[in-house]
């Protein structure tokens, strides 16, 4: 039997304090291209959701125009955290309260995908909804409470999307 290789998918969404084209968000918007370039060059980076402009700020999530989405795939959690907490991305994390509303519900989820799979926004929404409802499980988890690849809904023969969590 052949062992399936896995990669780590991550989604994070944020609720904007103002439209992207306002002075309040200028520093954030100005850093998008450099931070995305850093991600693309990072050790362990595999893929990120982007539109023709090279980012995902215009891609809708949860049918809410005040939300923006970041969806990417990484080799593993170590590669993701190494990128998150260094350089320009770390600087942007430190300033996130300037640009984004505080939200009580989970805005970030992780899950394992078979190598080569590129998750959709609908899949990411499903993972976030499940995390919000059930807490960390192999289906959707956090950096703080994670699960190893190869078990749960991403295991061979299991569906990639839990249809019960996808909105109509």
Predicted TM-score (pTM) of the model is 0.87
pLDDT tens digits for range 3-61: 569 999 999 999 999 999 999 999 999 999 999 999 999 999 999 999 998 889 999 99
Residue 145 falls within a domain, yes or no?
yes
Q: Give the number of domains in the chain.
A: 1
Confirm if 141 and 109 have CB atoms less than 8 A apart. Answer: yes
* Residue 53, SS3 per DSSP: coil
Residue 43 falls within a domain, yes or no?
yes
Domain CATH code at residue 64: 3.30.70.100
Q: Can you say how many angstroms the Cα of residue 111 is from the centroid of all Cα atoms in its chain?
A: 10
pLDDT tens digits for range 138-153: 999 999 999 999 765 5
Which residue range is the domain that position 148 belongs to?
A: 6-165
Confirm if 128 and 149 have CB atoms less than 8 A apart. Answer: no
Residue 126 falls within a domain, yes or no?
yes
Angstrom distance (rounded) from CA 50 to CA 166: 22
Residue 46 falls within a domain, yes or no?
yes
């Amino acid at each position: 039997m052949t062992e399936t290789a896995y990669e780590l998918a991550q989604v994070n969404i944020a609720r904007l304090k103002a439209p992207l084209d306002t002075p309040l968000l200028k520093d954030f918007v100005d850093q998008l291209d450099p931070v995305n370039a850093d991600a693309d060059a990072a050790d362990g980076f595999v893929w990120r959701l982007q539109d023709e402009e090279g980012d995902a700020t215009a891609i809708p999530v949860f049918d809410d125009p005040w939300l923006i989405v970041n969806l990417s795939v990484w080799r593993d959690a170590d590669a993701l955290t190494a990128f998150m907490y260094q350089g320009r991305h770390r600087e942007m994390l430190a300033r996130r309260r300037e640009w984004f509303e505080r939200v009580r519900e989970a805005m970030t989820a992780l899950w394992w995908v078979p190598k080569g799979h590129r998750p959709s926004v609908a899949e990411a929404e499903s993972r976030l909804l499940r995390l919000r409802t059930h807490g960390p499980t192999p289906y959707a988890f956090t950096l703080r409470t994670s699960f190893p690849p190869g078990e749960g809904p991403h295991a061979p023969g299991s569906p990639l999307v839990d249809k019960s969590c996808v909105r109509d």
